[in-house]
Amino acid sequence: MVPTDLLPHRPPFLFVDEIIEIVPGVSASGRWRLSGDEWFFSGHFPGRPTLPGVLMCESIAQVGALAVLSDERFAGRLPLFGGLDSARFRRQVVPGDELTLHVEMGRLSARAGKGIGRAFVGEDVACEAELLFVIVDV
């Protein structure tokens, strides 16, 4: 399975290259490989390309959406960002890095859900945040 089998996102706003594991409605893991050719690196920052933190949070949320959308209860629905709490950026992410993304869902109801997500480069935590999803009809 590829991310686009479940996610509505498409390039240039798809930030998951590979699904590692999904437990429907419970958790998901994926990878995002940063080549350096991505559109945002040329302006963030010239001479010192750095992955914007908000895009790291978006990549985590996309993996969380995989956990939600793989659950048959949410077929034909769309999880949208409802909130982001306690976001922390622990290390810079640069071209050539590979992010391993993981989200554990907490509460998940017919209309909303919460999860905790982390992005790693190797063993190092690059970003962590609490996510709130609002689940809407398509």
Query: Which among 17, 31, 40, 44 is annotated as catalytic?
Result: 44
Q: What is the CATH number of the domain that holds 33?
A: 3.10.129.10
Q: What does the pLDDT look like over 39-90, one tens digit per residue?
A: 999 999 999 999 999 999 999 999 999 999 999 999 889 999 999 999 999 9
Domain count, the chain: 1
Work out the pLDDT band at 1, boundaries 50, 70, 90.
Answer: confident
Work out the pLDDT band at 97, boundaries 50, 70, 90.
Answer: very high
This model's pTM is above 0.85: yes
Q: For position 127, what pLDDT does the model report? A: 98
Instruction: Determine whether 102 is an active site residue.
Output: no
Across residues 90-97, what is the average pLDDT? 98
Q: How far is CA 39 from the centre of its chain?
A: 18
Work out the pLDDT band at 105, boundaries 50, 70, 90.
Answer: very high
Residue 45 structural domain: 3-137
